[in-house]
Amino acid sequence: MGITGTESSNSKNLKHSAISYQLMRYANATATAISQRPVATLREQFMSIAHATATAFE
């Protein structure tokens, strides 16, 4: 049995959905990390973004 067009399309949609979800988590975590520290130094902001990246792409 081969993969039908619908099954192939669903597989692509699920992959795209998972990637979109990860990117949304990253964007949200990054924005939250920065917004919670409005007076953070540039170094602290960078560290917050790095932590957000690590947690979003676990």
Specify the amino acid at residue 53: T
Long-range Cβ contact pairs of 41-49 (< 8 A, separation 24 or more): none
At 38 the three-state DSSP class reads: coil
Q: What is the pLDDT of residues 38-51, one digit of tens each?
A: 565 666 666 777 77
- Higher pLDDT, residue 21 or 13: 21
Instruction: Look up the pTM and report it.
Output: 0.30
- Domain positions in the chain are 22-58
Q: Which residue has the higher pLDDT, 49 or 13?
A: 49
- Please, which residues have CB within 8 angstroms of residue 32's CB and are 6 or more apart in sequence? 52
For the chain, percent of residues with pLDDT exceeding 90: 0
